[in-house]
Structure 1
Amino acid sequence: MTTKREQTRERLLASALELFRSEGYDATSVAEIARAAGVTEMTFFRYFPSKQSLLVDDPYDPLIGEAISRQPTHLDPLTRAARGIRDGWRSLPEPSGDEVRSRLRIVAATPSLRATLTRGSAETEAVIAEALTTDETPHRTAQIAASAVMSALSTALLQWSVTDSEPLGSAIEAAADLLEDRHG
């Protein structure tokens, strides 16, 4: 059973996505989103810190970091990251693929959002690098591996966003498979 708070958040996101698709991201204001969702602008900002956060917030960074940290340190950093991401992903209920696909398509088509997406990816990359850094894996090596992992995930997700049939997990699994199966 969803709470009133979850319903309001879902209504704001659905209203925003509809307006972004019909009017464009840059032409849509927070006031219009709030009005379409039947709430005030103040309520909007209780749920989302900015209009951009509707599309690019990533609440999964702590989960990714923890899942990677739990991987055996004798494995190479790319394998540890791939397995950690796969384990973290599999521990979550799968989000609505249509919603994620729609969000990614809007981001890909909106130049003003690309910098925000890049910033978010850099934050995730830092979490991955920190989780990979151990006595066996110096920070420099961990940073390089984290960059490769984020590139693979980003490419897989953007490619997935232009499909209409595959589940979201297929993109994440494809990136993890490639990262883990480099020797075969």
Structure 2
Amino acid sequence: MSSTPARPPGLRDRKKAQTRRTIQEQALRLFLAQGYQNTTVEEIAAAADVSHMTFFRHFPTKEAVVESDQYDPLIGRLIEERPPQEDSLTALRHALVQGLKAVYATDKEALLVRTRLILETPALRARTWDNQYETQRLFAEALRARDPGESDLTTRVTAAAALAAVTTALASWVESDGTLDLPALADEAFHALRP
């Protein structure tokens, strides 16, 4: 690991990130107002004041504008940073709750809208398995980085159980219309894995 601090993103990277955020914000606004199926990429691009080609440079599909986030790399890093004496499930629990607290503090409304859309829209719900499979792989890789001696099956099962706990907490949170505390729900879900 390098001790050199990461350079802050340049103007071009900041503009790209802002354009991406604007597209996603406008898409979510339109999905809420018109419904996911009734909203076109052209309408999203117009609302974000970009061309439809710019939309596709940032998001390969309409589904991706809902599914895309920067949470997985954050969670992967938090898992790897957990103390080595923690067992894998405890490390996942603390990393995921910590990550959810960070997301909850800055992106609560967007997370609620995106999760609700995924749970309630058949086209998005059908893609959930692929996305969760990738997230599960990321969790397992982060666990292996912490403890290379743990068996592959154990690591994968632990990652899958953690993902199921968080997914169930997210569903309960959406069912409460965001009134329940998401990090507390996730923590409670992990307790259910260890009665």
Q: Specify if TM > 0.5.
A: yes
Task: Between the two structures, name the one with larger relative contact order (CA 8 Å, sep ≥ 6).
Answer: 1
CA distance in 1, matches of 2:192, 2:37: 41
> Would you say the 8 A contact 1:58–1:120 is kept in 2?
no
Paired position in structure 2 for 1:137: 150
Tell me: CA distance 1:99–1:58, structure 2 relative to 1, closer, same or farther (3 Å).
closer
CA distance in 2, matches of 1:93, 1:179: 18
Paired position in structure 1 for 2:7: none
Tell me: CA distance 1:73–1:10, structure 2 relative to 1, closer, same or farther (3 Å).
closer
Tell me: CA distance 1:69–1:172, structure 2 relative to 1, closer, same or farther (3 Å).
same
The count of corresponding residues between Structure 1 and Structure 2 is 180
| Structure (1 or 2) with the greater helix fraction | 2
1:84 maps to which of 95, 105, 108? 95
CA distance in 2, matches of 1:27, 1:98: 21
> Would you say the 8 A contact 1:78–1:180 is kept in 2?
no
> Would you say the 8 A contact 1:13–1:54 is kept in 2?
yes
CA distance in 2, matches of 1:165, 1:122: 25
How big is the shift at 1:80? 1.3
How big is the shift at 1:150? 0.5
Paired position in structure 2 for 1:21: 32
Matches within 5 A, 1:38-49: 38-49=49-60
Deviating runs (4+, > 6 A) in structure 1?
none
TM-score normalised to structure 2 length: 0.78
Paired position in structure 2 for 1:62: 73
Tell me: CA distance 1:11–1:73, structure 2 relative to 1, closer, same or farther (3 Å).
closer
Q: Give the partner amino acid of 1:158.
A: A
> Would you say the 8 A contact 1:157–1:172 is kept in 2?
no
> Would you say the 8 A contact 1:57–1:120 is kept in 2?
no
> Would you say the 8 A contact 1:153–1:172 is kept in 2?
no
Gaps of 5+ in 1: none
CA distance in 2, matches of 1:24, 1:150: 28
CA distance in 2, matches of 1:8, 1:22: 21
Partner-residue secondary structure (3-state), 2:61: coil
Q: What do you get for the CA RMSD once the two structures are aligned?
A: 2.6
CA distance in 1, matches of 2:71, 2:111: 14
CA distance in 2, matches of 1:114, 1:92: 21
Gaps of 5+ in 2: 1-13
> Would you say the 8 A contact 2:93–2:162 is kept in 1?
yes
Instruction: State percent identity of aligned pairs.
Output: 34
How big is the shift at 1:128? 0.8
CA distance in 2, matches of 1:171, 1:92: 10
* Counterpart check, 1:36 vs 2:47: yes
- The Cα offsets for residues 6-32 of structure 1, whole Å up to 9 and x where unpaired, read as 554343223212322233222322112
* Counterpart check, 1:123 vs 2:134: yes
